[in-house]
Amino acid sequence: MVPQLKIDLYSDTATQPTQGMREFMCAAEVGDEQRGEDPTTNALQEMVAQMLGKEAALLLPSGTMCNQIAFAVHCSPGDMILVDKSAHPLHSEGAGSGVIAAATIYPVEGQNGQYTADHVAEVMEPSTRYWPGIRLVAVEQTTNRPGGRVWPLEQMRSVCKAAHDRGASTHMDGARLLNAVVATG
């Protein structure tokens, strides 16, 4: 009888560190991260900031926390966040945006987790006393539920431009950003 191999691809949270990873962690130089004294954390944040062309980066313990902090930073109570109907914040982050940022998720029906600048233009209306308005346009790179699809760069740029032209901020859930980098070369 041939033994069956089971590979769990449900989530990256199901992975276990290798022996080499464990040894590296045990030997790593550490410090107080809250005081900016952990050299490993500092080096990682500096590397990511440089890689993304940003002033700074912040290491957080989960992608959900990253999204929720971004929502709270960009939104005021009552604002709306535009996402694709399959987006992680809508399906896998509970009511985090409502609880933490006091913002409502506004899903649009894109294709394979991706929507277009036309979708943004179609739903972006000025705020009124009856319509809070969309304050943040969020994308996932790569998509989660639709199977890791890579947003084409020009499509993402046009979505961001449409949002910015209408006064909205943009946010990228980049939990799988490096997968997109590898896939696109």
Both 129 and 91 in a single domain?
yes
Round to whole Å and give the CA distance between 126 and 110. Answer: 22
Round to whole Å and give the CA distance between 95 and 134. Answer: 17
Percent over 70 (pLDDT), the chain: 97
- Coil, strand or helix: which one is 32? coil
The answer to the question of residue 58 being in a domain is no
Range of the domain at 29: 17-52
CATH number at residue 168: 3.40.640.10
- Is residue 1 over pLDDT 90? no
Q: What is the pLDDT of residue 10?
A: 66
pTM of the model: 0.85
Q: What is the pLDDT of residue 21?
A: 94
Both 40 and 74 in a single domain?
no
Both 43 and 68 in a single domain?
no
As for how many domains the chain has, the answer is 2
pLDDT band at 114 (very low <50, low <70, confident <90, very high): very high
- Coil, strand or helix: which one is 75? coil
- Is residue 9 over pLDDT 70? no
Both 102 and 24 in a single domain?
no
The answer to the question of residue 4 being in a domain is no
The answer to the question of residue 6 being in a domain is no
Q: What is the pLDDT of residue 126?
A: 79
pLDDT band at 130 (very low <50, low <70, confident <90, very high): confident
Mean pLDDT of 31-51: 94
